[in-house]
Structure 1
């Protein structure tokens, strides 16, 4: 039963990833009437929100955009940093949305940031610990598997805490793009909204996948202990 659900989630994940990339490509080819680049949009959004201690920089790769609260940088991929499209505007504003969350002490971001050290360790060991735990569980030793399930629980909780953080950043981005008159037309605003919606869906699917995996290993742990 769990394998059927897991395969279903993996299929949905693939579809969502494909849809997101196709949407990003579509809106990357839609010029922004304001003519501003992603870097310029990010800098303006930060200024409009009274944030002066965050730097906007370009990082290598595709879809590598992120906000780093540790060194207070908005990191934009080359296509977004230099891009003058609806997609570039949406992504740049979204990442600045995280900077605004940080500056305003948004509770979900604070909670998520507090979990990072633990989750970083858990994510590095979870696969090997679960594998060893399943092997040892065959002989009746469930202690290692319990540690693995605990680590998996942490990463799953982290995935779900990420959801309100991402949705809120997108809402902030869309509201600012509208009020700052960056997306002039309805078509541009709807395009930015659509791009960010599909980006958010990738996080939803990732969280559901983590939950299904957690339930699978938890069933082995607690089912085996009852036996």
Structure 2
């Protein structure tokens, strides 16, 4: 195995699957199977999942909801997705713990760094919900921060594209994919990988990011085994 402890960042929108809203049971099952393959290798797994399939804080502003209030609503949306993923993982024989950035003890534990690390050491999958518990921070920022806190070896950003391109591959047919690229090059070329806060956290802490297509079966497994998948971003 190339990595022993990972932080997997999943998009909330990806859980919609073919639906226009909410959680697609087939997509949830697919992600569960992909995670199980990696867990069976003995990898310590932490997960952050977005909430865009249910609600985004920035969406609230468009209908007159205060930005801060909207962000807290978005945090609750991530918890709904996290709870769904937790249930699916446990139904498939994996042990999990859900930790929240805001206090909601009826359904999950509050985030405590040492406890999270201990859960990982005991072989439990740790899911981080509700962001970092503060407005104006994205789930990408949550993924970067939590990865640093739990001493993850890498942030794996699972998306619907297979890496970082010179341009948007969905809009530009001539766009080419990078296999490896440095943090500095991403800045200079103004490539859209993560929000700037999340990206800078990884750069300053020398934490590699791999952007890959989570929807392609076997990609996560191949990546953990050391095969070239997606785009690797490092300090070089």
Query: TM-score, normalising length from structure 2?
Result: 0.26
Higher relative contact order, structure no. (Cα contacts within 8 Å, ≥ 6 residues apart) = 1
Higher helix share goes to which structure? 1
Query: TM-score, normalising length from structure 1?
Result: 0.27
Larger Rg: 1
